[in-house]
Amino acid sequence: MQITDNTAVSIHYTLTNSVGETLDSSVGSEPLVYLHGAGNIISGLEDALTGKTPGDKFNVTVEPEDAYGEKRAEMIQVVPKSMFGDMPVEEGMQFQAEVSHGPGIITVIHIDGEEVTIDGNHPLAGEALTFDVEVMDVREASEDEIAHGHIHGEGGHH
């Protein structure tokens, strides 16, 4: 069966950045299971998977605009250290907070005395991402899975 919208897809993948560092991988653990066409994975990878069948193996580089977007300067702000209360603040620490488009990951990128520079861009924004992918399984998604926008059962949401 080919991967089309409203199919349940199971893949193994290894994700690397532009300098070849492995950022994530499902190899050696459970495959990633997602509902194709529901926006559950980045659009560039989803587009590359369309039409593939179980057993297909491929490599694709996804440019930032089809992954997590370009870095946006307006997502970088300087805030007073007092915003963190008694919490110790260190460069590189990440936390989840509400941003303009919903929940997001905020990264502390610089501390200068009582000023903290934070970055609300996705940590992989601005990066070209390379995926080595193997399609493990493709099946029709159930009506419930389609209605809920994600896969149920093994490898999906329970």
pLDDT at 156: 56
What is the per-residue DSSP string for 21-80? -EEEE-TTSPPEEEETTTTSS-HHHHHHHTT--TT-EEEEEE-GGGTT----GGGEEEEE
Domain ranges of the chain: 7-67+125-148, 73-119
Q: What is the pLDDT of residue 102?
A: 72
- Residue 158: the pLDDT is 44
Please tell me the predicted confidence (pLDDT) of residue 126. Answer: 96
Tell me what pLDDT residue 152 has.
86
Q: What is 73-119's CATH number, 2.40.50.100, 3.40.50.970, 2.40.10.330, 3.80.30.20? A: 2.40.10.330
Tokens found for residue 50: 């369309």
Question: Residue 81: what pLDDT?
Answer: 95
Give the per-residue pLDDT at 104. 84
pLDDT of the chain along its 158 residues, tens only?
Answer: 999 999 999 999 999 999 999 999 999 999 999 999 999 999 999 999 999 999 999 999 999 999 999 999 999 999 999 999 999 999 999 988 877 667 888 999 999 999 999 999 999 999 999 999 999 999 999 999 999 999 987 555 54
Residue 85 and residue 6: Cα distance in Å, rounded?
A: 46
What fold, for 7-67+125-148? Chitinase A; domain 3 (3.10.50)
Nearest one of 3, 150, 126, 13 to 75, comparing CA atoms:
126
Tokens of 99: 């941003």
